[in-house]
Amino acid sequence: MDIAVAKRRSSFSGKFFAAAVLITICFVMFKQSLNSSSHNMFSYHEAGVTHVLVTGGAGYIGSHAALRLLKDSYRVTILDNLSRGNIGAVRVLQKLFPEPGRLQFIYADLGDAKAVNKIFSENAFDAVMHFAAVAYVGESTLEPLRYYHNITSNTLLVLEAMAAHNVKTLIYSSTCATYGEPEKMPITEETTQVPINPYGKAKKMAEDIILDFSKNSDMGVMILRYFNVIGSDPEGKLGEAPRPELREQGRISGACFDAARGIIPGLKVRGTDYETADGTCVRDYIDVTDLVDAHVKALAHAQPGKVGIYNVGTGKGSSVKEFVEACKKATGVDIKVEYLSRRPGDYAKVYSDPSKVRKELNWTAHYTLQESLQIAWRWQKSHLNGYGLSNAMG
Ligand SMILES: NC(=O)c1ccc[n+]([C@@H]2O[C@H](COP(=O)([O-])OP(=O)(O)OC[C@H]3O[C@@H](n4cnc5c(N)ncnc54)[C@H](O)[C@@H]3O)[C@@H](O)[C@H]2O)c1
Ligand SMILES: *[C@@H]1O[C@H](CO)[C@@H](O)[C@H](O)[C@H]1NC(C)=O
Ligand SMILES: *[C@@H]1O[C@H](CO)[C@@H](O)[C@H](O)[C@H]1NC(C)=O
Ligand SMILES: *[C@@H]1O[C@H](CO)[C@@H](O)[C@H](O)[C@H]1NC(C)=O
């Protein structure tokens, strides 16, 4: 009797044990299949596949860059803490490229050195496109530390992680704001950089850190200094959707669309007595699709131990008045325009000489101001609420 009971018990616990083992195995296999289809492909270098880390890839320019890279068969990891970008843009990309090993999104803060290091040790990046930053001149004068922290110090962190994990190529987002207000136009790469606001200074400092580091390293570096970026994906997959609270800081294209939609009563043009043909400020507007094309070309041309610095602009200046006319045509709305006195800190004329990037990277801008605005307006009209989900995780 005793023996029989013990036997039954042991066979019961044996079955229980076997079931537990089976469940554990299933669970482990399930987890592994989840991982191996997505995570593991990002952890190893694969011959013929270039894995690009896109920091700030949920943002305006970064999301467009990720789209282009994915179209061109790159493997992409987006790192963003959604402090400014849109998870909706990432969702669009995930839907377009659901295959394993194409795109992964990592929610992390670049200011967190430990987290960044872990990400670099768990992923096999071949290159970094470093877009993540805060990027409003006005805000930078009010909150300079935010700019030095999130631009300069975070770039240092990215560079340290790249060095520690042997990532060999960096494409850096810089800006014409690093030149300040040069006397002579157009701006070439040799124009002396004298930035006049914390945004431009923080970017210049980040450039200097990168340049000093690269003197003694075999990293291939491309620094792209963008002019005024406008437009959106011509297929209408992505657009520009800044947080409502950032609208005030905003850029002229956003203001133009807001005025056309009646969200704001009209456009305020600040300054009509500048030394320009029509008295309003002149800027060089570069389309975002053209801009990301320059990034892909820069990536292809990057060489170990070399640094390339390029202005990315159209080479053609447009006045605010011309911009407003193009905006009216693109939207078909007769936007009300109010002319006010100058805003402090604006300079009369800024436009690029893009001949170096044309010669060395075979890149030129294709979109006209009018075309860019037309494309962007189409997205704005069909996405009145931006990405909709933009604040869901931010
Ligand atoms: N938009 C322009 O006209 C322009 C002109 C010249 C240069 N740039 C540069 O281009 C880059 C991209 O600009 P954008 O207009 O796309 O800006 P954006 O604000 O749309 O995108 C920046 C992204 O970086 C992310 N980010 C910021 N801090 C982060 C952090 N600590 N950790 C993780 N993610 C973080 C934000 O969430 C956001 O998604 C910036 O470096 C900017 O300085 C922009
Ligand atoms: C994003 O990163 C910054 C530091 O760079 C941090 O201060 C901020 O709180 C982060 N935001 C989110 C939503 O994690
Ligand atoms: C940038 O840094 C500051 C700290 O200086 C932090 O408060 C802020 O949240 C950071 N991130 C952004 C996106 O501004
Ligand atoms: C430069 O780009 C054009 C297309 O924009 C292409 O037709 C041409 O072959 C390229 N030239 C070189 C030298 O790669």
Domain membership of residue 90 as a residue range = 50-382
Residue at 91 is within a domain: yes
Give me ligand 3 centre to Cα 130, in Å. 17
Ligand closest to CA 392: 2
**Cα separations in angstroms, 190 against 149, 184, 292, 311, 343:** 27, 11, 23, 10, 28
Of 357, 212, 281, nearest to 204 (Cα)?
212
Residue at 42 is within a domain: no
Task: Name every protein residue with a CB atom under 6 angstroms from any ligand 1 atom.
Answer: 56, 58-62, 80-85, 109-111, 131-133, 135, 150, 154, 173, 175, 226, 228-229
Peptide bond into 144 cis (omega under 30): no
Residue at 34 is within a domain: no
Of 313, 255, 323, 259, nearest to 288 (Cα)?
313
Written as six digits, the tokens of 349 are: 């004329």
Element (H, E) at 328: helix 320-331
Per-residue model confidence (pLDDT) at position 345:
76
For residue 260, give the CATH number of its domain.
3.40.50.720
CB 95 within 8 A of CB 70: no
Residue at 365 is within a domain: yes
Any catalytic annotation for residue 310? no
At 144 the three-state DSSP class reads helix
Give me ligand 4 centre to Cα 299, in Å. 16
Amino acid at 108: A
**Cα separations in angstroms, 116 against 80, 106, 220:** 11, 10, 21
Written as six digits, the tokens of 280 are: 């309003």
Residue 178 dihedral angles phi and psi, to the nearest 5°: -70, -15
Q: Count of alpha carbons within 13 Å of 167, Cβ hemisphere only?
A: 28
User: Considering only CA atoms, which residue is closest to atom 21 of ligand 1?
Assistant: 59
Residue at 335 is within a domain: yes
Give me ligand 2 centre to Cα 178, in Å. 25
User: Considering only CA atoms, which residue is closest to atom 34 of ligand 1?
Assistant: 80
Give me ligand 3 centre to Cα 266, in Å. 32
Total domains present in the chain: 1
Per-residue model confidence (pLDDT) at position 11:
60
Positive or negative: CA dihedral 174, 69, 96, 230: positive
Beta bridge mates, 272: none
Nearest atom in ligand 1 to 62's CA = 16
- Integer Cα distance of 215 and 29 in angstroms: 47
Per-residue model confidence (pLDDT) at position 394:
31
Of 222, 224, 237, nearest to 70 (Cα)?
237
Beta bridge mates, 224: 173, 310
Buried b (16+ CB within 10 A) or exposed e, 177-198: bbbbebeebbbebebebebebb
CB 86 within 8 A of CB 387: yes
Residue 215: how many other CB atoms lie within 10 Å: 8
Regions of the chain with pLDDT less than 70:
1-39, 389-394
Q: What is the pLDDT of residues 299-334, one digit of tens each?
A: 999 999 999 999 999 999 999 999 999 999 999 999
Our answer on whether the CB atom of 134 is closer than 6 Å to any ligand 3 atom is yes
Residue at 45 is within a domain: no
Give me ligand 4 centre to Cα 297, in Å. 11
Our answer on whether the CB atom of 109 is closer than 6 Å to any ligand 2 atom is yes
Written as six digits, the tokens of 320 are: 């605010």
Out of 147, 148, 179, 199, pick the active-site residue: 199
Are β-strands 282-283 and 318-319 bridged in parallel, bridged antiparallel, or unpaired?
Answer: antiparallel
Residue at 186 is within a domain: yes
Beta bridge mates, 78: 54, 105
Our answer on whether the CB atom of 365 is closer than 6 Å to any ligand 3 atom is no
Nearest atom in ligand 2 to 82's CA = 13
3-state secondary structure 113-133: HHHHHHHHHHCCCCEEEECCC
CB 335 within 8 A of CB 292: no
Buried b (16+ CB within 10 A) or exposed e, 142-154: eeeeebbebbbbb
Of 363, 355, 354, nearest to 295 (Cα)?
363
Instruction: Tell how far CA 130 is from the center of its chain.
Output: 7
Nearest atom in ligand 3 to 84's CA = 13
Residue at 2 is within a domain: no
